[in-house]
């Protein structure tokens, strides 16, 4: 197990270096001039030159990369050109928001997707199955922004139950925090639940036809126990993979959903930063997200090994 | 286990819904004003800031030496009076006594000099060009400063009604350096409390404000909500009290709602098409070289029809860098009527055959695309083939600078002095002159307008600019938007100044 872990950890280093180079290189390909977009309407050549100098925009790309990497290795992710605040503080400000939203969305997805998948597999070709499939189709084909706006009109404008947008920190007022995040979490969770339902359904169907399920039934076990204890447990491996990947995706920010509900998370930060060519912020956020994503994959790998000892090899 | 998680998720949904229902009314409070902004402001440092939306927040935290009123007249704010010398090269400003900064420091001539010097010297200051005419600032006595100019510059006072005139606490600015914008300390009616990037900016009433008797709001929260529909939904649901930049297409919704009010003013700026006349290879066309072809293009456009089709007639058609209501508008040059026959005749006269194909760069946006398409179809009737190229905004700025366009649909947010809407776009080699238009007579007329302080004399100088620039120049002015602010019926006493900023002094919440 230890050797496995060490091997996986070693693989992370070159991956991260490659990711950092990719982010840096790719965003240099973006058309537009960061100094020009920063200046906006106040375009004076002398001031533009000062900005380019201050942020080393005139230096060759490898030199810029070197300075950035040097900073990153010493724990300094750089400074936002637009806001003058440090990228690390921006990340620290947004990470809890995104984590909360991702966790809530995942809980909603699990809460809906897995039971629906199980029911659909167990009650194959019945009204339950068709209903669940219809739900999945709806979840997959409803665009987030549309569902989001509809929910705002229903729950905020018409019924007045929930604030239309904005965000309150959990520590500040947990009720208000849940009230501001429940709609975006549902919008995100809804789409995920659909995918989760389809995966759970197919994995469960496979498991239900396996020999050990027949054996379990032959032993006279209660059907509920057969489904939940024997079939579900075995069907969970692909679902865990999916969950880990989805959680990673959620952490990189739900761009449209955050924009509609004005949730100040990673997605909104990264979009604003790309449009403003605030390179340091884009680089910092992508690097942090990549690290989290890779770590989650590692955790998923560990989870497999724990679930299935044969993989320990 | 999985069942438990599912149940947890369900109970979370349920509890949050219940909590939200019970919680919603708590969002509305007595004298807490919640303002929805169309964008997230940039750094809140008067020297380093450059966005329009940032100025809306500054309006509550940083007072300026002067301000403008509803009729665009310059009125004193932190200044009491001013006097320009006969040769126009010195401006003496008397300051308001008894003013304090948010950190308790007194505002005096030394502080005013410090603020102006900081605008002029701090690295990356966007105020440098605005105050470019100022050579030195002298402290005459504790409540008087003198600005010594390099040359007479009449738009200077107008500059001091904006960020260049904002006064900062020297003690706080000195301590914070270029991080001053993270916690700005000025002398406005509200003091900065906190900012969560892209989420909110909170300010609270400043007890020692010089005009505190007219401040009736205790706290303001600015919430940037980019999507116009969602911004309005927040206003309708009671989550906000006031929103800026209502979409023209939402005007009816606001007017039809008895609980909402719509307040508007014609913007200071303009919307138009910049035509590439001399910037790079794309200017090598009859369109760029022959003013008759450009005149034909203008005659093909019906500005009023465009306004009706795209904006339900809510905006104001225009053909100059200031709106027809402005004192400096040149009545001798009215908006030309659409005349397709004349346009075709002009093209023939210029020896142009076949459709005139033009690369039309349009920054991405629903309204800009609609405007471009209407212009495209109108111009087609006269023999122009506009190839619309929708481009992301940041990219379009760079391409405009590089001359990679023939037509560029771009506007200007506007300044209170006509110089701010014209000089930097129309004179030779100026930073915003992407077309590289250059005419000595236009330059000379602009310099004269800058050197005169009498408005009537300045208007005459601008008449010379109009006579040359409107028929031959590089910008086709098309319309002026309206600054649209929507508020709930709880808000009273709100007045809209044409610069679009939200001023909260005098505003009450029922």
Q: How confident is the model at residue B22 (pLDDT cuts 50, 70, 90)?
A: very low
DSSP string, B385-453: EEEEEEE-HHHHHHHHHTT--SEEEEEE---SSHHHHHHHHHSTT-TT-TT----HHHHHHHHHHHH--
Q: How confident is the model at residue A51 (pLDDT cuts 50, 70, 90)?
A: confident
Please give the residue of chain B at the shortest CA–CA distance from A80: B43
Please tell me the distance in Å from A11's CA to the nearest CA on chain B.
Answer: 32
Which tokens sit at B350?
Answer: 């210029």
Cα A175 to Cα B368: distance, rounded to the nearest angstrom = 41
**Chain B residues close to A189, C-beta within 8 Å:** 9
In this complex, is the C-beta atom of B327 within 8 Å of any C-beta atom belonging to chain A? no
Q: Which residues contact A11 (CB under 8 A, 6 or more apart)?
A: none
Which tokens sit at A293?
Answer: 């994503």
In this complex, do A178 and B12 lie within 8 Å of one another by their Cβ atoms?
A: yes
Q: How confident is the model at residue B6 (pLDDT cuts 50, 70, 90)?
A: very low
**Chain A residues close to B181, C-beta within 8 Å:** 83-84
Given a contact cutoff of 8 angstroms between Cβ atoms, the answer to whether B59 and A211 are in contact is: no
Q: If phi over 0 gives left and psi between -120 and 50 gives alpha, with beta otherwise, what is residue B156?
A: alpha
Which tokens sit at A220?
Answer: 């006279």
CA distances from A78 to A35, A67, B181 (A): 16, 10, 17
Q: At A38, phi and psi to the nearest 5?
A: -65, -40
Cα B295 to Cα B283: distance, rounded to the nearest angstrom = 16
Q: What is the dihedral of CA A182, A184, A186, A192, to 10 degrees?
A: -140
Which tokens sit at B421?
Answer: 């809407």
Please tell me the distance in Å from B81's CA to the nearest CA on chain A.
Answer: 28
Q: Is the pLDDT of residue B426 over 60?
A: yes
Which tokens sit at B477?
Answer: 């002015």
Cα B474 to Cα B436: distance, rounded to the nearest angstrom = 8
Please give the residue of chain A at the shortest CA–CA distance from B52: A41
Please give the residue of chain B at the shortest CA–CA distance from A181: B16
In this complex, do B199 and A163 lie within 8 Å of one another by their Cβ atoms?
A: no
Q: Which pLDDT score, from 0 to 100, does residue B13 have?
A: 40
Please tell me the distance in Å from A65's CA to the nearest CA on chain B.
Answer: 22
CA distances from A1 to A4, A12, A117, A233, A310 (A): 5, 17, 33, 22, 12
| pLDDT tens track for A75-108 | 888 889 888 889 999 999 888 898 899 999 999 9
| Whole-number average pLDDT of chain B | 91
Q: Is the pLDDT of residue B8 over 60?
A: no
**Chain A residues close to B27, C-beta within 8 Å:** 163
Cα A290 to Cα B271: distance, rounded to the nearest angstrom = 42
Given a contact cutoff of 8 angstroms between Cβ atoms, the answer to whether A282 and A81 are in contact is: no
In this complex, do A112 and B431 lie within 8 Å of one another by their Cβ atoms?
A: no
Given a contact cutoff of 8 angstroms between Cβ atoms, the answer to whether A162 and A85 are in contact is: no
In this complex, do A166 and B178 lie within 8 Å of one another by their Cβ atoms?
A: no
Mean pLDDT of the region B55-63: 96
In this complex, do B395 and A31 lie within 8 Å of one another by their Cβ atoms?
A: yes
- Round to the nearest angstrom and report the end-to-end CA distance of chain B: 52
Cα B95 to Cα B462: distance, rounded to the nearest angstrom = 32
Question: Which burial class, exposed, middle or buried, applies to A71 when counting CB atoms under 10 A from its CB (0-12, 13-18, 19+)?
Answer: middle
Interface probe for A, chosen from B15, B119, B126 (most Cβ of A below 10 Å), is: B126
Within chain A, residue ranges assigned H as helices are 2-28, 34-39, 45-54, 61-73, 87-122, 127-141, 144-151, 174-208, 211-218, 223-225, 232-251, 255-261, 266-275, 279-307
The β-bridge partners of B362 are B390
HSE (side-chain half, CA atoms, 13 Å) at A145: 7
Interface probe for A, chosen from B1, B4, B13, B228 (most Cβ of A below 10 Å), is: B13
Please report which helix (H) or strand (E) contains residue B81, including its range: strand B79-84
Q: Is the pLDDT of residue B203 over 90?
A: yes
Given a contact cutoff of 8 angstroms between Cβ atoms, the answer to whether A243 and A235 are in contact is: no
Q: Which pLDDT score, from 0 to 100, does residue B119 have?
A: 96
Q: Is the pLDDT of residue B19 over 60?
A: no
The β-bridge partners of B194 are B202
Candidates A46, A115, A161; nearest CB to B21? A161
The lowest-confidence range among A27-36, B192-201, B492-501 is A27-36
Interface probe for B, chosen from A149, A161, A169, A187 (most Cβ of B below 10 Å), is: A161
- Round to the nearest angstrom and report the end-to-end CA distance of chain A: 9
Please tell me the distance in Å from B380's CA to the nearest CA on chain A.
Answer: 31
The two beta strands, B356-363 and B407-412, are: parallel
Q: Which pLDDT score, from 0 to 100, does residue A289 have?
A: 84
**Chain B residues 410-429 with a CB less than 8 Å from chain A:** 412-413
Name the more confident of B186 and A140.
B186
Candidates A112, A189, A264; nearest CB to B198? A264
In this complex, is the C-beta atom of B197 within 8 Å of any C-beta atom belonging to chain A? yes
Please give the residue of chain A at the shortest CA–CA distance from B415: A41
Place of tokens 């093209």: B347
Q: At B109, phi and psi to the nearest 5?
A: -65, -35
Please report which helix (H) or strand (E) contains residue B222, including its range: strand B219-224
**Chain B residues close to A232, C-beta within 8 Å:** 2
Mean pLDDT of the region B352-359: 91
Q: Which pLDDT score, from 0 to 100, does residue B21 have?
A: 38
Cα A312 to Cα A142: distance, rounded to the nearest angstrom = 41
Cα A190 to Cα A192: distance, rounded to the nearest angstrom = 5
The β-bridge partners of B150 are none
Cα A226 to Cα A230: distance, rounded to the nearest angstrom = 5
Cα A258 to Cα B36: distance, rounded to the nearest angstrom = 16
Which tokens sit at B372?
Answer: 């471009």
Place of tokens 């004003």: B33
Q: Which pLDDT score, from 0 to 100, does residue B7 have?
A: 39
Question: Closest by alpha carbon to A124, among A201, A189, A188?
Answer: A201
Whole-number percent of chain B with pLDDT over 90: 82
Which tokens sit at B242?
Answer: 């006031």
Place of tokens 């076949």: B354
Q: How confident is the model at residue B14 (pLDDT cuts 50, 70, 90)?
A: very low
In this complex, do A37 and B128 lie within 8 Å of one another by their Cβ atoms?
A: no
Q: Is the pLDDT of residue B249 over 70?
A: yes
Place of tokens 């090269």: B89
HSE (side-chain half, CA atoms, 13 Å) at B345: 5
Q: Which pLDDT score, from 0 to 100, does residue B2 have?
A: 39
Given a contact cutoff of 8 angstroms between Cβ atoms, the answer to whether A69 and A75 are in contact is: no
In this complex, do B45 and A84 lie within 8 Å of one another by their Cβ atoms?
A: yes
Mean pLDDT of the region B119-141: 93
Name the more confident of B101 and A265.
B101
Q: How confident is the model at residue A309 (pLDDT cuts 50, 70, 90)?
A: low
Cα B381 to Cα B341: distance, rounded to the nearest angstrom = 10
Q: Which pLDDT score, from 0 to 100, does residue B23 have?
A: 40
The β-bridge partners of B221 are B34, B202
Candidates B123, B129, B227; nearest CB to A54? B123
In this complex, is the C-beta atom of B146 within 8 Å of any C-beta atom belonging to chain A? no
Please give the residue of chain B at the shortest CA–CA distance from A240: B2
Crossing angle of helices B455-472/B440-451, nearest 10°?
160
Cα B285 to Cα B281: distance, rounded to the nearest angstrom = 9
Given a contact cutoff of 8 angstroms between Cβ atoms, the answer to whether A203 and A239 are in contact is: yes
Mean pLDDT of the region A279-287: 88
Which tokens sit at A88?
Answer: 């690390």
Q: Which pLDDT score, from 0 to 100, does residue A313 have?
A: 53
Question: Closest by alpha carbon to B222, among B205, B200, B191?
Answer: B200
Q: Is the pLDDT of residue B350 over 80?
A: yes
Please tell me the distance in Å from B77's CA to the nearest CA on chain A.
Answer: 24
The two beta strands, B32-37 and B242-243, are: parallel
Mean pLDDT of the region B155-159: 94
Q: Is the pLDDT of residue B351 over 90?
A: yes
Candidates A37, A41, A164; nearest CB to B394? A37
Cα A279 to Cα A283: distance, rounded to the nearest angstrom = 6
| pLDDT tens track for A200-237 | 998 888 888 888 888 888 888 888 888 887 888 888 87
Q: Is the pLDDT of residue B10 over 80?
A: no
Name the more confident of A57 and B223.
B223
Q: Which pLDDT score, from 0 to 100, does residue B4 have?
A: 40
HSE (side-chain half, CA atoms, 13 Å) at A299: 13
**Angle at CA B290, nearest 5°, toward B285 and B292?**
130
Q: Which residues contact B95 (CB under 8 A, 6 or more apart)?
A: B65, B78, B79, B80, B107, B108, B109, B112, B143, B144, B145
Q: Is the pLDDT of residue B292 over 60?
A: yes
In this complex, is the C-beta atom of B176 within 8 Å of any C-beta atom belonging to chain A? no
In this complex, is the C-beta atom of B256 within 8 Å of any C-beta atom belonging to chain A? no
Q: How confident is the model at residue B90 (pLDDT cuts 50, 70, 90)?
A: very high
Candidates A149, A179, A275; nearest CB to B19? A179
CA distances from A65 to A15, A82, B415 (A): 17, 20, 40
Mean pLDDT of the region B305-319: 94
Name the more confident of B12 and B329.
B329
Q: Is the pLDDT of residue B510 over 70?
A: yes
Interface probe for A, chosen from B7, B236, B237 (most Cβ of A below 10 Å), is: B237
The lowest-confidence range among A3-7, A90-94, A175-179, B268-272 is A3-7
The β-bridge partners of B479 are B271, B317
DSSP string, A11-61: HHHHHHHHHHHHHHHHHHTSSS-HHHHHHTT---HHHHHHHHHHTTTTS-H
**Chain B residues close to A93, C-beta within 8 Å:** 196-197
Q: Which pLDDT score, from 0 to 100, does residue B139 have?
A: 97
In this complex, do B199 and A166 lie within 8 Å of one another by their Cβ atoms?
A: yes
In this complex, do A175 and B22 lie within 8 Å of one another by their Cβ atoms?
A: yes
Q: Which pLDDT score, from 0 to 100, does residue B279 have?
A: 95
Q: Which residues contact A306 (CB under 8 A, 6 or more apart)?
A: none
The lowest-confidence range among A26-30, B48-52, B344-348 is A26-30
Q: Which residues contact A275 (CB under 8 A, 6 or more apart)?
A: B392, B393, B394
Please give the residue of chain A at the shortest CA–CA distance from B398: A32
Q: Which pLDDT score, from 0 to 100, does residue A48 have?
A: 86
Please report which helix (H) or strand (E) contains residue B61, including its range: helix B52-61
Length of chain A: 313
């Amino acid at each position: 197990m230890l050797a496995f872990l060490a091997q996986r950890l070693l693989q992370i280093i070159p991956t991260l270096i490659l990711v950092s180079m990719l982010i840096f290189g790719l965003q240099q390909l973006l058309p537009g001039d960061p100094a020009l977009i920063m200046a906006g309407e106040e375009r004076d050549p002398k001031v533009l030159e000062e900005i380019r100098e201050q942020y080393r925009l005139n230096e060759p790309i490898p030199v810029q990369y070197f300075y950035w990497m040097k900073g990153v290795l010493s724990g300094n992710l750089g400074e936002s050109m637009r806001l003058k605040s440090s990228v690390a503080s921006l990340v620290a400000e947004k990470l809890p928001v995104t984590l909360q939203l991702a966790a809530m969305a995942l809980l909603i997805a699990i809460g809906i997707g897995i039971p629906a998948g199980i029911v659909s597999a167990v009650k194959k070709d019945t009204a339950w199955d068709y209903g669940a499939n219809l739900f999945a189709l709806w979840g997959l084909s409803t665009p987030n922004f549309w569902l989001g706006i509809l929910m705002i009109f229903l729950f905020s404008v018409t019924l007045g139950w929930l604030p239309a947008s904005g965000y309150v920190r959990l520590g500040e007022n947990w009720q208000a925090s849940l009230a501001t995040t429940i709609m975006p979490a549902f919008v995100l969770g809804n789409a995920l639940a659909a995918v989760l339902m389809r995966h759970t359904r197919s994995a469960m169907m496979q498991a239900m036809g396996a020999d050990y399920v027949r054996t379990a039934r032959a032993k006279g076990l209660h059907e509920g126990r057969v489904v939940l204890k024997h079939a579900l447990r075995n069907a969970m491996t692909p679902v865990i993979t999916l969950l880990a990947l989805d959680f990673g995706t959620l952490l990189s920010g739900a761009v449209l959903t955050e924009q509609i509900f004005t949730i100040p998370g990673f997605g909104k930060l990264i979009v604003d930063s790309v449009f403003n060519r605030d390179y340091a912020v884009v680089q910092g956020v992508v690097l942090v997200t990549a690290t989290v994503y890779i770590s989650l994959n590692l955790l998923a790998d560990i989870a497999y090994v724990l679930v299935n000892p044969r993989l320990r090899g | 286990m999985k069942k438990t998680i599912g149940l947890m998720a369900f109970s979370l949904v349920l509890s949050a819904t219940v909590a939200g229902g019970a919680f919603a009314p708590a969002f509305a409070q007595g004298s807490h004003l919640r303002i929805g902004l169309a964008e997230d402001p940039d750094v809140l440092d008067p020297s380093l800031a450059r966005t329009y939306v940032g100025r809306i927040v500054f309006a509550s935290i940083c007072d300026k030496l002067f301000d403008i009123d509803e009729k665009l007249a310059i009125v004193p704010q932190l200044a009491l009076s001013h006097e320009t010398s006969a040769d126009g090269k010195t401006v003496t400003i008397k300051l308001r006594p008894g003013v304090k900064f948010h950190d308790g420091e007194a505002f005096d001539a030394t502080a005013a000099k410090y603020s102006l010097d900081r605008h002029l010297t701090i690295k990356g200051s966007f105020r440098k060009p605005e105050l470019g005419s100022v050579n030195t600032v002298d402290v005459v006595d504790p409540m008087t400063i003198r600005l010594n100019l390099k040359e007479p510059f009449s738009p200077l006072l107008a500059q001091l009604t904006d960020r260049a005139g904002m006064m900062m606490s020297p003690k706080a600015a000195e301590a914070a350096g270029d991080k001053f914008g993270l916690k700005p300390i000025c002398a406005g009616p509200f003091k900065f409390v906190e900012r969560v990037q892209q989420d909110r900016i909170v300010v609270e009433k400043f007890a020692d404000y010089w005009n505190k008797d007219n401040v009736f709001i205790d706290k303001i929260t600015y919430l940037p909500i980019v999507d116009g529909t969602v911004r309005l939904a927040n206003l309708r649901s009671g989550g906000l009290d006031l929103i800026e930049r209502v979409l023209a297409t939402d005007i009816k919704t606001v007017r039809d709602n008895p609980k909402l009010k719509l307040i508007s003013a014609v913007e200071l700026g303009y919307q138009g098409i910049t035509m590439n006349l001399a910037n790079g290879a794309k200017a090598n066309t009859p369109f760029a070289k022959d003013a008759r072809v450009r005149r034909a293009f203008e005659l093909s456009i019906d500005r009023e029809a465009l306004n009706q089709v795209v904006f339900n007639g809510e905006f104001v058609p225009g053909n100059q860098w200031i709106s027809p209501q402005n004192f400096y508008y040149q009545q001798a040059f009215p908006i030309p009527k659409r005349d397709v026959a004349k346009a075709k005749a002009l093209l023939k006269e210029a020896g142009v055959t076949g459709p005139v194909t033009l690369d039309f760069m349009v920054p991405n946006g629903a309204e800009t695309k609609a405007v471009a398409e209407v212009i495209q179809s109108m111009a087609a009737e006269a023999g122009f083939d506009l190839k619309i190229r929708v481009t992301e905004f940041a990219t379009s700025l760079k391409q405009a600078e590089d001359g990679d366009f023939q037509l560029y649909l771009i506007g200007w947010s506007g300044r209170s002095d006509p110089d701010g809407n014209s000089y930097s776009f129309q004179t030779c080699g100026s930073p915003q002159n992407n077309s590289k238009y250059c005419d000595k007579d236009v330059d000379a007329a602009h310099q004269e307008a800058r050197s005169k302080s009498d408005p009537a004399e300045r208007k005459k100088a601008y008449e010379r600019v109009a006579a040359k620039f409107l028929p031959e120049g590089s910008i086709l002015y098309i319309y002026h938007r309206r600054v649209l602010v929507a508020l709930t019926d709880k808000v009273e006493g709100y007045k809209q100044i044409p610069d679009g900023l939200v001023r909260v002094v005098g505003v009450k919440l029922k």
